Structure 1
């Protein structure tokens, strides 16, 4: 089993491989018990949102880790992948601006993938 930080890196790379935009990693460990990290990214089309989410699932599954819950595949405007310690939010650009999770979780520090 990989460490949670390694999983975040794998998720980040899976998003980046499919040209996800504005990838943000929020550290929630000292703020909530919902998850240790949120990984948030944007895409410019429903097809790309779905492709990114599918790639994240594929890459994480290679490590023997299955998604606990997923939601949003029917519309592909906001797909949530819940891995317990890490929650992945893949947004269509318009939905990301509307829901603005970074503002809602403004107390959470941003993590630079290079320092994780």
Structure 2
């Protein structure tokens, strides 16, 4: 799978579990960290963990396993590292505090209008 296909599969999984404010940013030209960041918010620790579980299951079904998982115990910012794609799931407060979209504003926002369901 291409990095973009992995990122979009993660977006779909987050959307199916009602993730909030889902975004994908292409950062391949800016850093060697990853090709894409996928960012979403959850409304509670339980939902944040459910969102991450949904991403892991969807990507596992496609043959992709995370290299690393961070933040499950705390539940305010969970990171799933797939090498070329990093998925960040935040509480609303943590998302506002870290503001990854601002930090990576030089990246290319991926148009998700055809993927996300209307609220």
TMscore range, shorter length: over 0.9
1:34 aligns with: 33
Counterpart in 2 of 1:111? 110
Q: For residue 20 of structure 2, what is the aligned residue in structure 1?
A: 21
Give me the TM-score of the superposition, normalised by structure 2. Answer: 0.92
Q: Which residue of 2 aligns with 1:61?
A: 60
Could you give the per-residue CA deviations for residues 8-45 of structure 1, whole angstroms, max 9, x where no partner exists?
11100000011001111111011111100000001111
**Pairing 1:30-109 to 2, within 5 Å after superposition:** 30-109=29-108
Residue ranges of structure 1 left out of the alignment (5+ in a row): none
Give 1:5 deviation, angstroms: 1.5
Number of aligned residue pairs: give it.
Answer: 114
C-alpha displacement at 1:105, in angstroms? Answer: 1.0
Over aligned residues, Cα RMSD in angstroms?
1.2
Q: Distance between the aligned counterparts of 1:5 and 1:36, measured in 2?
A: 8
TM-score normalised by structure 1 residue count: 0.94
Distance of 2:76 and 2:64 partners within structure 1: 24
How far apart are the structure 2 equivalents of 1:73 and 1:7? 21
Matched, 1:3 2:6: no
SS in structure 1 at match of 2:110: coil
Shift in Å at residue 69 of structure 1?
A: 0.5
> How many angstroms does 1:6 deviate by?
1.4
CA–CA distance in 2 between the matches of 1:6 and 1:19? 20
Q: Could you list the runs of 5+ residues in structure 2 that have no partner in the other structure?
A: none
